[in-house]
Amino acid sequence: MLTRRQSIILQKLYEHMDAYLTAEQLAAFLSVSANTVKRDLLAMKSELSDADTQLVSKTSKGYKLIINNMETFQCYLEQILQDPTHGRFNEQAQRVYFIMTRLIESSDYIRSTDLADQLFISDSCLVSDMKIARRIFGKYDIQIVSKPRKGLYLTGDENNIRQCMIKENIGPVGFLSYLADDHDENTLANIRTIVTDVLIESHFVISDIVFQNLIIHIATSVLRMKHGHYISDQQIRLDESYNHALVVANDIMQQVCTLFTIPYSESEARFLALNIQGKREISSENYISDELNRFIYDTLVMVKDQFNVNLTEDTDFRISLALHTYPLITRMESNMQIKNAMTYEIKQKFILAFDAASVFSNELYKKYGVRITDDEISYLALHFEGAIQAQKRERSQKVLIISPQKKSFTILLRQRLTDWFKNEISTIDIVNPSKADKAVKNTYDILLATEEHVAVKYRAICINFFPTDQDYQKISLAMNGYQNLSDILDKFHRSTFVVVESISKKGALQLLCEKAKDAFGIDDSLYEQVSKHEQVINSYFGDNLAVPHPEELCTDLTFVAVLISKKPIDWDSGKHVRLVLLVSIAKNNKKAYNLWGYLSMLISDQKSVEKIIRTPTYENMIKVLSDTFQSVLTR
């Protein structure tokens, strides 16, 4: 497997696959020496054979990728990017939390040289990072012990360690995601279900915030127990007043231990009883405070009103957002906001989630007086995206597949769709084309066909009999609501398409809003809302592209106004733009938001963006859009 630095080099070579890059160019980007890059490139050659790719070099020109099989290579690259360690150690805060996580999880000594190697840093840099880690641990009376020829080891009261984990949200992507061996994304939901059932059966009444904190306590206990760390029975003394709480705690702990296949511990059950009894009447501020809980709820109400996405009742999401917010506030106040190498990719792929995260970030700014960077907002956006996708999975749909194959031969097709969309599809029916006329008259949300001519006849989405990743994308996007190419193209009106020689950012926004005003009879509120949004978050999306949109929905229809400038527009601090897509989503139309899912395909496709800029005509733009969307939409 490639190292983090090597994977970044691979990305850069892929981004410039039509040209050569010198070791000096790559070294300048990575802030390392050219010799270091050359050693990495040499090590990468044999690794890339697994991706059916060659790394070639030419004297005086540099290095270039020769990709023999694009699908194989892209799968390989995706695996690298999904590695949880990828791109995490650019900032000191990221390194410190990695060090703390390793020390907390370990049951043995850790060599400092191993930590430095894992972080790709020097010994002197590690010493600097360790000072911060020691200071944070010190707040909880936890010490890092160092022994010659053995390494580093963490000592401290187990309860203090758990308090540290919760308050500092220690872990590469938040400790709660590491509870299950298979990284089960439903871990919190499973714990929540157990706690809910036991408390209801026991007639045990607690408030919303106390309920959330109880889940956090149990989740943290499970994580520590999975790594062999238990509360000592000597720490807990309970009198008869705890009898009811102890019965409840025993029931919860037994079910949780069975779920996560860890040994049951009476001391852990007694510790849980202590927490349950203490939180029955009043809320403890050890975990999520009443203030933060109210802030999150109120902000999610704003997101609901603005984007028609209701996340206020998603307890798991509110917990994860709160745990992410505590250390974020600390980074804001200490001017240590971390960078994110994937920011533009997140903005391009998860536009709605990024916008929702921007609303949340803006409210934090109002409260603490510190602007949150795009990089930090991108991390928040991942939380919102996960919650949004989970909500979509709850809306089951009926699917009809038209295929000439015998029903007994379609087991793999059915199984693949079930695996992909097990929480989204309630029914999968398969019918022979000869009987399709009658079947399609029934109510189905999505029609699929395994043959092109059948797909054309029934306006179905054509997929392979042995579905590919592209088929997954087709079906997934179809579930968003739009199924006809014309539905998307109709949002790009000729009357709101404009080409200019040169223009300023303000001028571009004004011109596009004026075009929309003339075409659709829109009032001046559009420009006001677009300008307001620009003050909250930058609409630069990279690759010569900007996607401004209103802060609040203010139009009765959905449209995309387009401006192409022959000369680059200085959009923000030297970030240049030539293509501007002004997107306005209709008020009071939940399905209209699904347009973002399709636009993200265009926005994240650099080649398509370049084609639109290269030939700045309305006809060419429509052709590029058609080529981009036709694989996932019927005509």
Q: Cα(611)–Cα(616) distance, rounded to whole angstroms? A: 9
> What are 576's strand-pairing partners?
570
Pick from 185, 134, 191, 136: nearest CA to 165:
136
Residue type, 146: S
Asked whether residue 206 falls in the same domain as residue 268, the answer is yes
Q: Cα(101)–Cα(168) distance, rounded to whole angstroms? A: 10
Spatial contact of 109 and 88, defined as CB atoms under 8 Å apart: no
Asked whether residue 383 falls in the same domain as residue 427, the answer is no
Q: Cα(389)–Cα(177) distance, rounded to whole angstroms? A: 16
Domain end residue (candidates: 446, 461, 479): 479
| Residue 404 domain boundaries | 397-479
Asked whether residue 382 falls in the same domain as residue 412, the answer is no
Domain end residue (candidates: 445, 462, 479): 479
Residue type, 199: L
Residue 208 main-chain phi, psi, to 5 deg: -60, -50
Asked whether residue 425 falls in the same domain as residue 501, the answer is no
Residue type, 135: R
> What are 634's strand-pairing partners?
484
**Helix, strand, or coil here: 107?**
coil
Q: Cα(41)–Cα(55) distance, rounded to whole angstroms? A: 8
Q: What is the pLDDT of residues 114-152, one digit of tens each?
A: 888 777 677 888 898 999 999 999 999 999 999 988 999
User: With bands split at pLDDT 50, 70 and 90, how would you rate the model's confidence at 44?
Assistant: confident
pLDDT attached to residue 80: 65
Pick from 256, 259, 281: nearest CA to 268:
256
Pick from 254, 238, 239, 244: nearest CA to 205:
244
Asked whether residue 341 falls in the same domain as residue 384, the answer is yes
Mean pLDDT score, 502-506: 95
pLDDT attached to residue 394: 62
Mean pLDDT score, 52-56: 87
Q: Is the pTM of this model over 0.95?
A: no
What are 92's two structure tokens?
């000191």
User: With bands split at pLDDT 50, 70 and 90, how would you rate the model's confidence at 519?
Assistant: very high
**Whether pLDDT at 387 is above 60:** yes
User: With bands split at pLDDT 50, 70 and 90, how would you rate the model's confidence at 395?
Assistant: low
Residue 152 lies in a domain: no
Asked whether residue 503 falls in the same domain as residue 625, the answer is yes
Asked whether residue 492 falls in the same domain as residue 472, the answer is no
Residue 172 lies in a domain: no
Give the least confident one: 70-84, 302-316, 331-345, 586-600.
70-84
Share of the chain above pLDDT 70, in %: 86
Which residues, in sequence order, are CB contacts of 342 under 8 Å at separation 6+? 81, 87, 378
Asked whether residue 266 falls in the same domain as residue 220, the answer is yes
What are 564's two structure tokens?
């192409």
Lay out the sheet containing 397-402: strands in order across. 425-431, 397-402, 446-449, 461-462
Q: Cα(454)–Cα(122) distance, rounded to whole angstroms? A: 62
pLDDT attached to residue 87: 47
Taking the alpha carbons of 390, 394, 397, 401 in that order, is the dihedral positive or negative?
positive
User: With bands split at pLDDT 50, 70 and 90, how would you rate the model's confidence at 619?
Assistant: very high
Q: Higher pLDDT residue, 619 or 35? A: 619
Q: Cα(204)–Cα(579) distance, rounded to whole angstroms? A: 58
Mean pLDDT score, 407-436: 76
Q: If you write DSSP's letter for every residue of 133-146 in order, what string do you get?
A: HHHHHHTTT-EEEE
What are 260's two structure tokens?
């996560």
Mean pLDDT score, 547-556: 88
pLDDT attached to residue 413: 76
Q: Higher pLDDT residue, 43 or 619? A: 619
Q: Supply the CATH number for residue 333's domain.
A: 1.10.1790.10
Q: Supply the CATH number for residue 522's domain.
A: 3.40.930.10
Asked whether residue 501 falls in the same domain as residue 617, the answer is yes
Residue 96 lies in a domain: no
| Alpha-carbon 100 to chain mean position | 23
Spatial contact of 219 and 274, defined as CB atoms under 8 Å apart: no
pLDDT attached to residue 186: 64
Q: How far apart, in Å, do the first and last CA atoms of the chain sit?
A: 43
Write b or e for each residue in 376-406: b if 16 or more Cβ atoms lie within 10 A of its Cβ, otherwise e: bbbbbbbbbbbbbebeeeeeebebbbbbeee
pLDDT attached to residue 175: 44
pLDDT attached to residue 78: 67
Q: Which residue has the tokens 């043995």?
A: 108
Q: Cα(323)–Cα(287) distance, rounded to whole angstroms? A: 8
Spatial contact of 194 and 252, defined as CB atoms under 8 Å apart: yes
Average per-residue pLDDT in the chain? Answer: 82
Residue 125 lies in a domain: no
**Whether pLDDT at 450 is above 80:** yes
In the chain, DSSP finds a helix count (H) and a strand count (E) of 27, 13
Q: Supply the CATH number for residue 16's domain.
A: 1.10.10.10
Residue 196 lies in a domain: yes
Q: Cα(555)–Cα(587) distance, rounded to whole angstroms? A: 6
Burial class of residue 625 in the structure, from the number of CB atoms within 10 Å of its CB (0-12 exposed, 13-18 middle, 19+ buried):
buried
What are 211's two structure tokens?
């309920």
User: With bands split at pLDDT 50, 70 and 90, how would you rate the model's confidence at 284?
Assistant: very low
Mean pLDDT score, 88-97: 72
User: With bands split at pLDDT 50, 70 and 90, how would you rate the model's confidence at 632?
Assistant: low
Residue type, 111: R
Residue 174 lies in a domain: no
User: With bands split at pLDDT 50, 70 and 90, how would you rate the model's confidence at 281?
Assistant: very low
Q: What is the pLDDT of residues 321-379, one digit of tens each?
A: 888 888 888 788 878 787 777 788 888 888 889 999 999 999 999 999 999 999 899 98
Burial class of residue 132 in the structure, from the number of CB atoms within 10 Å of its CB (0-12 exposed, 13-18 middle, 19+ buried):
middle
H/E element, 446: strand 446-449
**Whether pLDDT at 419 is above 80:** no
Residue 166 lies in a domain: no
Burial class of residue 547 in the structure, from the number of CB atoms within 10 Å of its CB (0-12 exposed, 13-18 middle, 19+ buried):
buried
Asked whether residue 575 falls in the same domain as residue 610, the answer is yes
> What are 540's strand-pairing partners?
546
What are 598's two structure tokens?
């399709």
Residue 427 main-chain phi, psi, to 5 deg: -140, 135
Q: What is the pLDDT of residues 76-86, one digit of tens each?
A: 776 665 554 44
pLDDT attached to residue 88: 53
Q: Cα(30)–Cα(14) distance, rounded to whole angstroms? A: 16
Task: Tell me the chain's radius of gyration from C-alpha atoms.
Answer: 27
Asked whether residue 534 falls in the same domain as residue 416, the answer is no
Of the spans 63-77, 283-297, 395-409, which averages the highest pLDDT?
Answer: 63-77
Give the least confident one: 108-117, 129-138, 282-291, 387-396.
282-291
pLDDT attached to residue 31: 61
Q: Supply the CATH number for residue 425's domain.
A: 3.40.50.2300
Residue 159 lies in a domain: no
Per DSSP, 558 falls in state -
pLDDT attached to residue 283: 37
Q: What is the pLDDT of residues 200-216, one digit of tens each?
A: 888 776 767 778 888 88
Asked whether residue 426 falls in the same domain as residue 492, the answer is no
Q: Cα(51)–Cα(451) distance, rounded to whole angstroms? A: 31
Q: Cα(311)–Cα(403) distance, rounded to whole angstroms? A: 39
Domain end residue (candidates: 23, 54, 81): 81
Which residues, in sequence order, are CB contacts of 289 under 8 Å at separation 6+? none
Spatial contact of 420 and 477, defined as CB atoms under 8 Å apart: no
pLDDT attached to residue 624: 94
Q: What is the pLDDT of residues 452-489, one digit of tens each?
A: 888 888 878 888 877 777 677 667 756 655 657 888 89
User: With bands split at pLDDT 50, 70 and 90, how would you rate the model's confidence at 278?
Assistant: low
Q: Cα(5)–Cα(119) distance, rounded to whole angstroms? A: 11
**Whether pLDDT at 548 is above 80:** yes
Spatial contact of 537 and 374, defined as CB atoms under 8 Å apart: yes
Q: How many domains, the chain?
A: 5
Q: Which residue has the tokens 């009898």?
A: 243
| Number of other residues whose CB lies within 10 A of the CB of residue 442 | 10
Give the least confident one: 180-189, 251-260, 299-308.
180-189
Residue type, 159: N
Residue 170 main-chain phi, psi, to 5 deg: -75, 135
Q: Higher pLDDT residue, 450 or 91? A: 450
